[in-house]
Amino acid sequence: MKKISLTAQIGIALVLAVIAGILLRNQADFVNTYIQPIGIIFLNLLKFIVVPLVLFSIMAGILSMNDVSKVGKLGLRALIYFMTTTLFAVTLGLVVPSLLKGILPLIHINTEAAAEVVETPHLSVMDQIVNMFPNNILEPVSSMAMMQIIVIALFFGIAMVHVGEKGEMARKVTLSFNEVVGKILGYIMALAPIGVFCMLTPVVVENGPAVLGSYAALLALAYFCFAVHAGVVYASAVGLLGRISPLKFFKEMQPAMLFAFSSDSSVATLPYTMQCTEKLGVNKDIGRFVLSLGATINMDGVAIYLGVASVFMAACCGIDLTMSQYMAIAFASTVASIGTPGIPGGSLALMAMVFASAGIPVECVAVAAGIDRIIDMGRTVMSITGDASCAVVMQRILGKKLQ
């Protein structure tokens, strides 16, 4: 008998939590006493792994990009393209829900707990930038200061690349710890269906069937942003820079996009994406390099959804995000989209990192996890479409030179 995938198990847990929450609406004390604590245990485990996950995954990601220097112009331009589209993606993910949050049906989340987490002094933009740089290495780890942890990871990762052979031992230790942390995350995510059920049931008990409307709104927000990003950013890129009709581009990409939507894996879709880009006139060598690089570091769909989920969940908690919090979400989402681990549940752990960086209660991750599988299908389509658009643009700019 075929084993049910983790994402399917989380989806089943969502359905069961809604049913249980509706049936137990008059048993709130029982739910809060015996069911919710199990969900809190899952969240505590998720919080515990976030710091080592972010630290080692970012350093490992920098080390894996060591080969980019060998391909010179193509690698540099592809990286610039990916970073530019990711910035557009995270901006879109923050702006759209911010404009619409006044009319969205929201899930009520304990605002007292939220106030304890986000009660921080209002800082200027320069103060926020200064605070990104730690004055010691231990305090950010103990206090989960995610922005400072990201900076630490960037410095160590870049330094290990630059010192070359002398840093080989540090490189091996980093990659080894990255594997170990990934395995621990796997253990924790095996508990995700139980954790999601135990965290969502109290939410449904408090909100009732109205919680379904909030989930529908979050889904609609995410997919609307996906469509806008593809229709504006990718279409403009292939049309203006790649000199290919956007309609032709999306028509030729349909087989890969459909497979990505159903398989939920950009890596598994890679052969289909290569075939589609070759039909669009992309040289096989350019396509292989750009698409393989993109499958590793280009996750515009993740960047969009992290922004959407952050604003939506903050609104559910009654939190009015400040400009410094928006900046924290934008920076953390950009880094997280590049360093998304290729393991089940990796995006949820990084969502916890983004929420923590902006002072949004990490408990909101369990609420968002219920529909993560459905949204992940759209995120995968965004990832492979963005990779293909980059391949088309690189073919137009550098194709003749590289040949």
Residue 374 has pLDDT above 60, yes or no: yes
Residue 229 has pLDDT above 90, yes or no: yes
Q: Between 402 and 27, whose confidence is greater? A: 27
Q: How far apart are CA 218 and CA 210, in angstroms?
A: 13
The owner of tokens 């919090």 is: 325
DSSP 296-361: HH--HHHHHHHHHHHHHHHHHTT----HHHHHHHHHHHHHHHHS--SSTTHHHHHHHHHHHHHT--
Confidence of residue 245 (pLDDT cuts 50, 70, 90): very high
CB 93 within 8 A of CB 304: yes
Res 116: pLDDT? 41
Rounded percentage of the chain residues whose pLDDT exceeds 70: 80
Res 314: pLDDT? 85
Residue 124 has pLDDT above 60, yes or no: no
What fold, for 6-402?
A: Proton glutamate symport protein (1.10.3860)
Q: What is the pTM of this model?
A: 0.69
Q: Between 370 and 46, whose confidence is greater? A: 46
For the chain, how many residues are written?
A: 403
Confidence of residue 209 (pLDDT cuts 50, 70, 90): low
C-alpha distances in angstroms, 277 versus 265, 273, 392, 393, 399? 18, 6, 7, 11, 13
C-alpha distances in angstroms, 269 versus 87, 263, 266, 280? 24, 8, 5, 17
Lowest mean pLDDT among 34-48, 154-168, 389-403: 389-403
Q: What is the mean pLDDT of residues 121-145?
A: 71
Res 264: pLDDT? 63
C-alpha distances in angstroms, 304 versus 10, 359, 378, 395? 22, 19, 11, 26
Residue 292 has pLDDT above 80, yes or no: no
Confidence of residue 100 (pLDDT cuts 50, 70, 90): confident
- 129: its two tokens: 């930038």
Res 5: pLDDT? 67
CB 114 within 8 A of CB 317: yes
Q: How far apart are CA 256 and CA 253, in angstroms?
A: 6
Residue 123 has pLDDT above 50, yes or no: no
Res 11: pLDDT? 73
Q: What is the pLDDT of residues 319-340, one digit of tens each?
A: 888 888 888 888 887 777 665 5
Contacts of 287 (CB under 8 A, 6+ apart): 274, 277, 278, 391, 395
Burial class (CB within 10 angstroms; exposed 0-12, middle 13-18, buried 19+) of 373: middle
Domain boundaries, the chain: 6-402
Res 296: pLDDT? 64
Lowest mean pLDDT among 128-137, 279-288, 329-338, 342-351: 342-351
Q: What is the pLDDT of residues 45-85, one digit of tens each?
A: 877 887 887 788 778 767 765 554 544 567 778 888 988 89
Q: How far apart are CA 150 and CA 93, in angstroms?
A: 21
The owner of tokens 């220097």 is: 69
Res 180: pLDDT? 92
Residue 339's nearest CA partner among 169, 170, 189, 146 is 146
Residue 232 has pLDDT above 60, yes or no: yes
Mean pLDDT across the chain: 78
Residue 253 has pLDDT above 70, yes or no: yes
Q: Between 306 and 6, whose confidence is greater? A: 306
Lowest mean pLDDT among 33-47, 88-102, 103-117, 307-321: 103-117
Q: How far apart are CA 93 and CA 76, in angstroms?
A: 26
Helix (H) or strand (E) holding 57, with range, is: helix 36-64
Q: How far apart are CA 23 and CA 17, in angstroms?
A: 10
